[in-house]
Structure 1
């Protein structure tokens, strides 16, 4: 049975008041006598009246603005799925008065991040959704957001000093533990394991801490764990540093690479390793190059961080808050999916 839709005129007639009185009660504006207010509320309760927030927004021509601050996906392809998630959210919510503006910064330049963030702050949006690669600079931006009463949300990279901001992403500490568990199951006892940060960022330390915590909790573990941070901006320098690392530790049997750049290491391995046996490699993210090496057996596992889903949710949570009054979760932690050559095709769109 279809539920009857009541108009303001219907409610006014049932309550014995004017349409203007009903409008003021519904929208909580203007003066209404206690008697008239009670009459209207009683009728609303009887008919189980539910306002249509989307229609109300369109009628008022109310526009909400969300600014997205993220690394330029044309420089670092890891962020391309996040761009797709943003475009998907734009297509879904722009017709209802939710405007999304994108600001891209250079992923390796703090000045670019700061410059773009200040552009956003000057424009005074309702929400800033950002992927914070630079911790100190990001903390400063969050502070300015609070001072200017701009709501802030983060995706992908977590900041330990969050104070009321929203986070959408994975539990990075736990993902490090997952990587350690995978390696522990496939290497021999007393193995030498390398934690490799390619172009190290602050959030990678959380993954390493989780990785180390896994072994600290196991009394039987006697693995030797090394940690190195290597820049990848110059291929020759990367090759030189990794070669030196393998010269010093030829016994390395497994490598945990803490971001999406596993393919950069794998592409050099045959040139730098003296041993014919390849190490077990656990990395992150479904970049085409990583998938290629996964299918060739040169990467054993990839942890899928779902950047597209992260970016989409960051926008949709606030869009649904504006349109429907839905509560925005303070933290949304996505599942940690383990990708192998056997299941990778199910994750490709």
Structure 2
């Protein structure tokens, strides 16, 4: 077994006082450049690792973290996030960290603002946030920064200097992957990008996916990329009119997890010649994937996004572990042949 070095041992090896070693280890107080180099050299030579668990228990600090995400009852895409959150709570349950969950309506910006205002009044140590609305997210992120609250974002990247980290996928590249898949299963003709039930100008995730999709087809002159925005209750009426207006339509790319709604329409109206690529392993999507109505799904793995985001925050507060500036998860391509293993995780 390797020797367990004490502060006194390190001080003797470095030729400095125990107080100097303590200040270096805990990053507090002033230390001369010479002393810092001596202590750092010794720490590197003995491969010293502080017992951060014991330190946290000694400090007896009770940390509070809020997780804010869209209501899974309104959008089932977010249901698997709860599994990721639960996993973290089990893994770190012994440390007594207080993890609170709060939801907002995915179609209501005021609901998002109200939920964030509630959290800010509660003044937690950290927040894991799904910034669904770009404009409102920029506002609340600035307020969190003013209050000194550490924030990590997941699923939807918001360019901001006030966030500690982002966990999710490269959405621009995700759009290019979707385009490559579409290209592989269609001939030349019209290809449509469908945005469902979102305010496009305030939905960065849609914009990034569309940009990536369009950038791929710029090199494919035989294809014409169209765009259609769909909202309920006129969903079927508008989609039917769009398809009839474009008789050369060969494929549809849906930018959200609501791909099954388009698949339902295609199946009901016998538009089986139209290829369909979309997102996420919702049960309804998987059923259409297995039936052949949906050709490919891109798995965004919201469970892992929530898990890593919350885990990073917990380890940052408990163990002073550095948070990576971003974690980009793999862009998983799922078809009818490989979907079952994904469903078991």
TM-score surpassing 0.5?
Answer: yes
Cα pair distance change 1:252/1:60, threshold 3 Å: same
For 2:294, the equivalent position in structure 1 comes to: 299
The TM-score, its normalising length taken from structure 2, stands at 0.87
Q: Report the secondary structure of 1:259's partner residue.
A: coil
Q: Tell me the alpha carbon deviations over residues 121-141 of structure 1, each in whole angstroms, 9 at most, x when there is no partner.
A: 111122221111111111100
Cα pair distance change 1:311/1:42, threshold 3 Å: closer
Cα pair distance change 1:107/1:19, threshold 3 Å: same
Cα pair distance change 1:325/1:248, threshold 3 Å: same
1:134 aligns with 2:129: no
For 1:314, the equivalent position in structure 2 comes to: 309
Cα pair distance change 1:260/1:21, threshold 3 Å: closer
Aligned positions of 1:122-271 closer than 5 A: 122-159=121-158, 161-165=159-163, 166-189=165-188, 191-201=189-199, 202=203, 203-216=205-218, 218=219, 220-232=220-232, 234=233, 237-271=234-268
1:155 Cα offset (Å): 0.5
Report how many residues are paired: 338
1:281 aligns with 2:276: yes
Cα pair distance change 1:336/1:62, threshold 3 Å: same
1:174 Cα offset (Å): 0.7
Q: Report the secondary structure of 2:298's partner residue.
A: strand
Structure 1 residue runs of 5 or longer lacking an equivalent are: none
Q: Report the secondary structure of 1:116's partner residue.
A: helix
Cα pair distance change 1:21/1:209, threshold 3 Å: closer
**Preserved CA contact (<8 Å) 1:278 1:298:** no
Once residues 45 and 180 of structure 1 are traced to their aligned partners in structure 2, the CA distance between those partners, rounded to angstroms, is: 49
**Preserved CA contact (<8 Å) 1:62 1:97:** no
**Preserved CA contact (<8 Å) 2:155 2:169:** yes
1:181 Cα offset (Å): 0.8
Structure 2 residue runs of 5 or longer lacking an equivalent are: none
1:83 Cα offset (Å): 1.2
**Preserved CA contact (<8 Å) 1:242 1:272:** no
Q: Report the secondary structure of 2:243's partner residue.
A: helix
Q: Report the secondary structure of 1:78's partner residue.
A: helix
1:23 Cα offset (Å): 6.4
Cα pair distance change 1:21/1:84, threshold 3 Å: same
Cα pair distance change 1:21/1:157, threshold 3 Å: closer
CA RMSD of aligned residues (A): 3.0
Once residues 222 and 103 of structure 1 are traced to their aligned partners in structure 2, the CA distance between those partners, rounded to angstroms, is: 48
Q: Report the secondary structure of 2:237's partner residue.
A: helix
Once residues 39 and 194 of structure 2 are traced to their aligned partners in structure 1, the CA distance between those partners, rounded to angstroms, is: 66
For the pair shown, the structure with the greater C-alpha radius of gyration is 1
**Preserved CA contact (<8 Å) 1:164 1:330:** no
Cα pair distance change 1:43/1:122, threshold 3 Å: same
Cα pair distance change 1:320/1:250, threshold 3 Å: same
Q: Report the secondary structure of 2:87's partner residue.
A: helix
Cα pair distance change 1:290/1:37, threshold 3 Å: closer
**Preserved CA contact (<8 Å) 1:57 1:97:** no
**Preserved CA contact (<8 Å) 1:82 1:309:** yes
1:295 Cα offset (Å): 0.5
Once residues 172 and 93 of structure 2 are traced to their aligned partners in structure 1, the CA distance between those partners, rounded to angstroms, is: 35
For 2:343, the equivalent position in structure 1 comes to: 348
